[in-house]
């Protein structure tokens, strides 16, 4: 089935959920909802392409470095 994928980025969680703390602290979280992305096909190449496209859209909104580059 050809289903649109909507990228959603959540900013601010790193400061609220710091790994050195046992409990979350107060802080601001911003949720950004991107434009829906249509898959280009149903084969494995299209799945990988969709993954990269959606991931790039999320990373662009996160204000964090892309650790996979």
| Digit-coded pLDDT (tens) for 41-66 | 999 999 999 999 999 999 999 888 78
How far is it, in rounded angstroms, from Cα 68 to Cα 23?
A: 28
* Position 12 pLDDT exceeds 80: yes
Look at residue 59 and give its three-state secondary structure. Answer: helix
The pTM is what? 0.79
Confidence of residue 8 (pLDDT cuts 50, 70, 90): very high
Specify the DSSP class assigned to residue 69.
Answer: -
In order of 15, 21, 22, the CA distances from 6 in angstroms are 25, 32, 32
Q: Which residue has the tokens 């084969």?
A: 43
The answer to whether the beta carbons of residues 16 and 26 sit under 8 Å apart is yes
* Position 69 pLDDT exceeds 80: no
């Amino acid at each position: 089935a050809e289903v649109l994928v909507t990228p959603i980025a959540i900013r601010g969680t790193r400061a609220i959920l710091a790994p050195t703390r046992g409990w979350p602290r107060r802080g601001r979280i911003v949720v950004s909802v991107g434009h829906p992305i249509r898959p280009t096909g149903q084969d494995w190449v299209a799945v990988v392409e969709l993954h990269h496209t959606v991931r790039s859209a999320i990373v662009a909104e996160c204000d964090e470095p892309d650790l996979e580059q």
